[in-house]
Structure 1
């Protein structure tokens, strides 16, 4: 007899942090009454705490699957979608067909225009939990379900240098280099002396062999981005991430055709329908799917699409408790062209205590490489401590 979904539960998780994401507040930035700051560099809202939405699916036969989605802004919106829209539809369904269920849930709201945003985020959490359930029921990792694991270790690059001054950021990067990491990405929106000064100082401090990337955070028009990237190229820029507004496909395409380094993008794109027009225009050379927004089904489809266009996949990593990070490692390990995976050190390491392995080995990131968990499903599940951070 098939199993059935009995209950779907969503939890908002909130974790204090000492330094806000992207580093200390700059002049003119302040914490508003809801606990958010607007970064002047890109006019974007960020929380002062790490927040996420964790999803639990329980079946009639006693299995539990775990998912997680991006929840740093208005996480209650995602929880409301799960409780009011998705849970009643999921209850009673056989959980053994994650991709089929994903398509059915996507169709529920298509005619209302909800093919992205918070609805897409909620679908990602459900999808991850369903794949976790399927792996557990069969006793295999998610990577096996996706066709097999190509990589037991995945190269990692250090993302973000959250220090107040340029000299401190260079020293911070050198500390990570001493630990065995060779890739470093800086955020141009908090490069107070300018992106060119930032990369010049990092290149001098890290030496000629280090890979240095720049996240431009969708800040520039196409001509502005082209001029800036061309100034960064002589310093050995590895790639330029998110140069233009995400809706400016033609502008991003122009940048990609006008500079000598790859353009990277994708963290804000949730479905293959958003990826395809950008791939058709050759708007980027490096794809950065974010598991917390895509879920496993769309991540795998995006990876296959990138492979067909000969585009490398370097998955994005954002604020989370570790559930969708494990899912990203599982799905990424099945990709053929996988030069590296983003490593958010200020999130991954301190939050590792919030998950525990379902097998003998936990996930880790050491000496420049991610090590994957070896248990069934995602390979990790929430620890008891995680729910001490749940918001009622």
Structure 2
């Protein structure tokens, strides 16, 4: 059995765009006719350029290879061009192709991927979701409204979720870390207080940021949030200096979580050795794929850290997250988009879902999904904007900082 050909689907996400503007799903087929699917979570370049990278990585490092030889193919891609270091774009391309190899292997052996990775450790996976606007909410006002956030939280708790994520402390600028404004600190505290009062001990609060603060700025914000006992303080500083996370972790009495913008065990190993995170959040479509992320989870276990695979992408990455999570003794949570996503779930044949706050280990072969190619082709993405984009303007210290919660469309 040899890897023979690929097809890349660039899927435009309908409004409001939960999960980003588009998803990159790859289909890999072997010379004996078995096809597997994977998802690439890399968007430093536009989708057309990224498709070219995916095709090059496949042709250069994987075509004609036995899909079982994942370690060899990883080392080819990781070391290519005399680099031998983490590369978000190349490893993103490889990650999606690697997922597809596991999907092929599972189908060839008629077993779920997790059965080939150490077997079932977790029968049910505790899921969490962002707080998203409800149908009657003003979507623009939602992200800075404690009252609307509470309404959304109560619906999610009634659906069975026991962990809720929110991120009111914008803006996310391309300028790197900054000091939070007093408005943003106050808003963050008010939303935390309102949510804690509303949900009590029924759900953990997951305070999200996206690397927008300097270490000292993150510490100021984190210490203000401590009375509400969030389960984590997510990505408080930019991911380009891994040692900065340790400063925050040592000064704030909230567990630091991070990892969605990191790739391979090299970066996560540095983070963990420095004491920079209690919870790691690799995105499997960027972190090196399923096997590499299994190694990251093992590193975390050795350092007393837990794993919570990240998801702000499509349902194929979600399926890979679930397969990995089933095997991990140090699993904390898996991210979901609401109950699985109104556009996400049909794209994989409604094969996965959240029920009463948990995802049950799938039993179907491979990734356990039925990818709908016809639906994917019916939603092409023909624009040039990136999956997510950052604000150019600096932080506003005179008033509110507008934030749309990751929504890419309206």
Smaller-chain TM-score range?
0.7 to 0.9
TM-score (norm 1): 0.85
CA contact (8 A) 1:52 1:72 kept: no
What are structure 1's unaligned runs of at least 5 residues? Answer: 22-46
2:73 aligned with 1:101:
yes
The residue aligned with 1:25 is none
- Does 362-371 or 84-93 show the bigger shift? 84-93
| Partner of residue 154 from structure 1, selected from 125, 129, 132 | 125
User: Secondary structure at the residue paired with 1:203?
Assistant: helix
Higher strand share: 1
C-alpha distance in 2 between matches for 1:317 and 1:84: 26
| Partner of residue 234 from structure 1, selected from 227, 236, 254 | 227
| Partner of residue 168 from structure 2, selected from 180, 188, 191 | 188
C-alpha distance in 2 between matches for 1:119 and 1:89: 11
Deviation of 1:152 (Å): 2.0
CA contact (8 A) 1:69 1:293 kept: yes
Deviation of 1:308 (Å): 1.1
Deviation of 1:129 (Å): 0.6
C-alpha distance in 2 between matches for 1:112 and 1:166: 47
C-alpha distance in 1 between matches for 2:370 and 2:359: 18
C-alpha distance in 1 between matches for 2:198 and 2:103: 43
Over 3 Å counting, the alpha-carbon distance change for 1:112 and 1:76 in structure 2 is farther
The residue aligned with 2:191 is 198
Over 3 Å counting, the alpha-carbon distance change for 1:71 and 1:381 in structure 2 is farther
C-alpha distance in 1 between matches for 2:284 and 2:131: 19
Over 3 Å counting, the alpha-carbon distance change for 1:208 and 1:151 in structure 2 is closer
TM-score (norm 2): 0.82
C-alpha distance in 1 between matches for 2:84 and 2:69: 25
The residue aligned with 2:103 is 132
C-alpha distance in 2 between matches for 1:146 and 1:85: 24
C-alpha distance in 2 between matches for 1:271 and 1:196: 34
C-alpha distance in 2 between matches for 1:156 and 1:183: 7
Deviation of 1:71 (Å): 5.0
C-alpha distance in 1 between matches for 2:293 and 2:111: 19
User: Secondary structure at the residue paired with 1:65?
Assistant: strand
The residue aligned with 1:34 is none
C-alpha distance in 1 between matches for 2:52 and 2:99: 18
C-alpha distance in 2 between matches for 1:134 and 1:153: 23
Deviation of 1:347 (Å): 6.4
The residue aligned with 1:41 is none
Deviation of 1:188 (Å): 2.7
1:278-310 Cα distance to aligned partner (Å, 9 max, x none): 111111111111112121121111011111111
C-alpha distance in 2 between matches for 1:271 and 1:302: 7
Deviation of 1:363 (Å): 1.4
C-alpha distance in 2 between matches for 1:368 and 1:129: 28
C-alpha distance in 1 between matches for 2:42 and 2:232: 27
User: Secondary structure at the residue paired with 1:237?
Assistant: coil
User: Secondary structure at the residue paired with 1:219?
Assistant: coil
CA contact (8 A) 2:161 2:357 kept: yes
Counting matched residue pairs gives: 357
1:118-141 Cα distance to aligned partner (Å, 9 max, x none): 211101011101111111111111
**What root-mean-square deviation, in Å, do the aligned CA atoms of Structure 1 and Structure 2 show?**
2.1
| Partner of residue 172 from structure 1, selected from 152, 169, 191 | 152
- Does 265-274 or 88-97 show the bigger shift? 88-97
1:163-210 Cα distance to aligned partner (Å, 9 max, x none): 523211110111111111121111133596621111011112212442
CA contact (8 A) 1:323 1:381 kept: no
The residue aligned with 1:119 is 90
Over 3 Å counting, the alpha-carbon distance change for 1:88 and 1:286 in structure 2 is closer
2:362 aligned with 1:378:
no
What are structure 2's unaligned runs of at least 5 residues? Answer: 134-138, 171-182, 383-410
1:65-84 Cα distance to aligned partner (Å, 9 max, x none): 11111156622222111223
2:91 aligned with 1:91:
no
